[in-house]
Amino acid sequence: MMRQYELVERVQRYKPDVNEALLNKAYVYAMQKHGHQKRASGDPYFSHPLEVAAILTDMHMDEATIAVALLHDTIEDTTATRQEIDELFGPDMGRLVEGLTKLKKLDLVSKKAEQAENLRKLLLAIASDVRVLLVKLADRLHNMRTLDHVPPEKRLRIAEETMDIYAPLAGRMGMQGMREELEDLAFRHINPDAYRTVTERLAEIFERNRTILTDIENALLALFAKYQIKATVKNRQKKPWSVFRKMETKALSFEQLSDIFGFRVIVDTVEECYHALGAIHTTWSMVPGRFKDYISTPKQNDYRSIHTTIVGPSRQRVELQIRTREMNRVAEYGVAAHSIYKDAGNGPNGAAHAISKDTNAYAWLRQTIEALSEGDNPEDFLENTRLELFQDQVFCFTPKGRLIALPRGATPIDFAYAVHTDVGDTCVGAKVNGRIMPLVTELKNGDEVEIIRSKAQVPPAAWESIVVTGKARSAIRRATRSAIRKQYSGLGMRILERAFERAGKPFSKDGLKPVLPRLARKDVEDVLAAVGRGELPSTDVLKAVFPDYKDERVATVVPVASRQEGWFNLRNAAGMLFHIPGRSSSRRKKSGKSGGKEAEANGALPIRGVRGDLPVRFAPEGAVPGDRIVGILQPGSGITIYPIQSPSLTAFDDQPERWIDVRWDIGEEHRERFPARISVTAINAPGSLAEISKIIADNDANIHTLSMARTAPDFTEMLFDLEVWDLKHLNRLLSQLKEDKAVSEVRRVNG
């Protein structure tokens, strides 16, 4: 275990004017608080904060950060309090230590939600002071180094969390060295067999190519000496996780990998970077499409370097990175390498610093924090943050020259939402480099994108499967929820209007406001949507507004077959009951006409042109028992049945007289299938359709029609019109299709 004076000496090597008193005080306080606590390995617990502090000294951090590392577990694991730390070390130090404390008193159902809330808290703490992140990553790195002593089930969870969140977060903040070590350690625990195999193969390849690597290094050094460029050349080998991920994502074998080895050229100035590049490209041929200039256009994490691939000595493909020493330091240590702390006066214990937030890494962080204010649930936030963390970058421009950084694979929809949420919500098309292109087009570096907008546009729910950024996905979900809520709200409005009309009472939205507490709803729209979804009976709303109202209709016990007042069935629409507002069966009985008796006898209703043989059809997307459904009266052609989530219903928002209440009437004796449309994206290979058809047949569903919506070299999108028993049956079928290896995506089509 590192001694007190050894820690001070480590900091003095790079910071001669170190505040020794602060380090000594933090060392003694933390050691006393942790006392006789032990780690899972049996070592004294205090050895952990000491090792975290040692990692930070390697990154040349200031004494305040080192002190926070010594104290980071005191509030969480000892009797120490925030107030006590504030008194001893100052409020700034107390704030930093508290930012690293987990949420221990959270009453959350799922582990995922707890993980998400902890991530929220961490990012918010980082936003105020980046030292929180540096200590947290150093803490996680030491925990990963000692993970062998943790129980296996906990070990796997910690490793997966590291791979999902902390390693990508280190990468996004430019700390490539830490990212690679975290990934390597996590990979070893998540997939030990693959780790062992890849590591052994890499060692074999290195031994086999040792001479070639030396020859290439010497050839490069000789070239730079010829052009009088002062440079150092180092070969580097890809890390096991990076190799494994590339093999997995691109389905490559070891023999097909061309970039296992690379060379890093380090010079003194930016001018020499381009001088070295010119010397290399005039001596050896460049591989087309493998040149990237991250000096003129840095990555979002402030990474700067020139990347090129050449056909070098011995006709070998050689991957090169050219950068200055300062760029190399930033690439290795990220935000820790920046001069982000500027003296802001004589703060207590040297902890008061103004933070420079001009770096690209901070720009990304601020965008992430903005997502926190959008009101997403924790699980959505966690998913969206992961999406943002994992992606590599492409750089595109607005017509006015504004640079927009996006994840690789982004579409014009992602671009629109990156500009502004309103731009994304109203996007109807896009011009890429002056040409109108589909919204599914994958953007490339340097593309100029112009978004075509329409105020009448509502983002379709299908967009969620196209976009790759968390911001776009969140916004589309919110818009979809809002659109569905609007439909439910509109339906609830019509239900209440009819209920109040039947009761002979006036109806208005303003009349609902005073009774919101009685209905346990926040606003009027919540009430309308709840009625539309069937969660709140219209009679409850009526009684809340008019407490003295009494239903004067005589309640009688009637056979099940006669159903409720006003509801009727049609001969050619078995399994459904209909209700046309403003009429009831009692009125029909008083018609006194033989036609009325005849209609009553066969269960039909002869009003508004509705006959017993009136055509009833389903919308193209179909509807199945379990869906909430409505009917739209088509003059002269009959009734069309829609599921409530159908986007097509918006076309009838201004025609309430055409809406008909419909509900399912399915008895045990009813044996009829109902239509539903699904979209299946499958591998374009022989036998794929046969596999899918077999799954459908095995699940007792019937294929009515099949069409190929879109065919590509690798994948085919197929639209199936199926006949199924009910919603549960359909969902079971969708789940089994998703599990099939030939299927990439399957979803129900609405509209």
Catalytic residues: 76-77
12-40 residues labelled b (16+ CB within 10 A) or e (exposed): eeeeeebbeebbebbbebbbebbeeeeee
**Orientation angle between helical segments 176-190 and 192-226, nearest 10 degrees:** 150
Residue with structure tokens 């180094």?
Answer: 145
Q: 484 Cβ partners below 8 Å, 6+ apart?
A: 644, 645
Q: Which helix (H) or strand (E) holds 93?
A: helix 91-99
In angstroms, the CA 558 to CA 565 distance is 10
Residue with structure tokens 């109202």?
Answer: 549
- Long-range contacts, stretch 224-231, CB < 8 angstroms, 24+ apart: 224/265, 224/276, 224/279, 226/279, 227/275, 227/276, 227/279, 229/267, 229/272, 229/275, 229/276, 229/279, 230/267, 230/268, 230/272, 231/265, 231/266, 231/267, 231/272, 231/276
* Beta carbons of 76 and 118 less than 8 angstroms apart: no
In three-state form (DSSP H/G/I as H, E/B as E, the rest C), the secondary structure along 180-239 is HHHHHHHHHHHCHHHHHHHHHHHHHHHHHHHHHHHHHHHHHHHHHHHCCCCCEEEEEECC
**Orientation angle between helical segments 470-503 and 378-390, nearest 10 degrees:** 150
CB atoms within 10 A of CB 271: 10
Total residue count of the chain as it appears in this document: 751
| C-alpha distances in Å from residue 87, one per residue of 72, 80, 94, 98 | 16, 12, 9, 14
Cα-to-chain-centroid distance, residue 526: 27
The amino acid present at 131, given as its one-letter code, is: R
In angstroms, the CA 84 to CA 91 distance is 10
Q: DSSP code of 8?
A: H
* Beta carbons of 641 and 617 less than 8 angstroms apart: yes
Structure tokens at 647: 């986007």
Structure tokens at 614: 């009136």
705: nearest Cα among 675, 730, 747: 675
In angstroms, the CA 399 to CA 403 distance is 10
In angstroms, the CA 100 to CA 122 distance is 7
User: Angle 328-329-334 (CA atoms, 0-180°, nearest 5)?
Assistant: 110
| C-alpha distances in Å from residue 689, one per residue of 329, 683, 715, 733 | 54, 9, 12, 15
The amino acid present at 176, given as its one-letter code, is: Q
DSSP string covering 560-591, please? GGG-STTEE--TT-TTEEEE-TT--HHHHHTT
Cα-Cα-Cα-Cα dihedral of 543, 544, 548, 549, to 10°? -20
731: nearest Cα among 741, 711, 746: 746
Q: Which helix (H) or strand (E) holds 630?
A: strand 629-634
* 3-state secondary structure at position 451: strand
In angstroms, the CA 106 to CA 712 distance is 48
Residue with structure tokens 């009625």?
Answer: 531
CB atoms within 10 A of CB 476: 23
DSSP string covering 532-549, please? HHTSS-HHHHHHHH-TT-
